[in-house]
Amino acid sequence: MSVFCEVPLAAPVAVFKLSQDFNNDQFPKKVNLGVGAYRTDEGQPWVLPVVKKVEKMIVHDDSLNHEYLPILGLPDFRSSASKIALGDNSPAIQENRVGAVQCLGGTGALKMGAEFLCRFYNGSKNTNTPIYVSAPTWENHNAVFANAGFEDVRPYKYWDAEKRGLDLAGFLGDLESCPAHSVFVLHACAHNPTGTDPTPEQWMQIAEIMMRRKLFVFFDSAYQGFASGSLDKDAWAIRYFVSMGFEMFCAQSFSKNFGLYNERVGNLTIVAHDADNLKRVLSQMEKIVRTTWSNPPSQGARIVAITLNSPELFTEWKDNVKTMADRVLLMRAQLKAKLQALGTPGTWDHITEQIGMFSFTGLNPKQVEYMVKERHVYLMASGRINMCGLTSKNIDYVAESIHEAVTKVQ
């Protein structure tokens, strides 16, 4: 008998199971709107031209080797990554109170932050500190904080299903009523899965309550530049909170905006009160990294660092990012127009009002099931679709499928 015979079989990760089902489907007009990755209008992955260029530079640079990096990661990567989040002229950077940890993707950055907070925030090893994640949120948020040891992961109101937009009153109400020192995970831009972001004025209201009630800000920034096409616009909320004097964490992912999905390039930016506090935080981050992945990989971080630190390459990268953002905006406009032309019941304005890779369609679970089983259009059970899965070749079929699902299934 095996020592592992009592290990329960875990359920598969939903988004990867969806892709597997799609790959096994023989239907010729099948469409995958599930996976969270950019696709061209031909439905293919896109290696950014600037990334190809930098990869060639790295190959031909004889000064590079495969020695260990510092435990906290490649210094040029960490500083340049924090700089695009906080801005070139950030007072916090100039005051030497910003530091960073190179991490394994955005998930790794969230994990590093969660592990640190569980050990040192709101008392020592305080696993009862409430962690608030939006309702709905990216499913990994709950698991990352729970696995770090937090015992009280709660939802805060965010999505108004009836209005298909932000439930600002509910959100602000939860900020007012939660226990002091609670941690709030905030999506910096292109909220996943709803694609609905607060306006700058609404962010100001959120920040005012969080400052007054001494709540901890943990931004998740997975789509900077990808959402609107502008790095500065997509970082507005982060920079505003810093300007208000918050100490905070910001998990950054370069999977989407560099197309480096399998290189696992992430950064945890730490904004502290002063240089002394930052030094102590980073000293403990080193200890956590040492027992987690010990030392980070260099390739993806080097690609990002070289790009961000060269004015010419940086400009080219911003153009590449805008290419992706513009295609998503085009698909949003076309899908809305096609649904309206078909006379599909309900309002579809939210498709163009939302931003980023994902759209929260408003389809209910039975309608989603119909889309998958009857129309071979694969999307998450929540009704979330990846706008990059739409192409000029399949958008008519997808619009007709949504129309059919909405009219036939209640």
* Beta carbons within 8 Å of 287's beta carbon, 6+ residues apart: none
Contact 318, 234 (CB under 8 A): no
Single out the catalytic residue among 83, 138, 167, 197: 138
Question: What is the Cα–Cα distance from 361 to 335, expressed in whole angstroms?
Answer: 11
| Alpha-helical segments (H) within 178-235 | 200-212, 231-234
Query: 237: helix, coil or strand?
Result: helix
The strand ranges marked E within 330-404 are 358-360, 377-378, 384-386
Q: What's the rounded Cα separation, in Å, for the pair 109 and 250?
A: 8
Residue type, 53: K
Integer distance in angstroms from the first to the last C-alpha of the chain? Answer: 50
Query: What region does 285 belong to: left with phi over 0, alpha with psi -120 to 50, or beta?
Result: alpha
Q: How far apart are CA 81 and CA 98, in angstroms?
A: 11
From 167, 174, 197, 220, the catalytic residue: 220
138 labelled catalytic: yes
Give the active site residue among 256, 317, 336, 338.
256
| Separation between Cα atoms, residue 156 and residue 178, nearest integer Å | 9
Give, for 63, the enclosing helix (H) or strand (E): none
Active site residue 220: yes
Q: Is 408 designated active site?
A: no
Q: Give the residue numbers annotated as catalytic, written as ranges.
A: 138, 220, 256
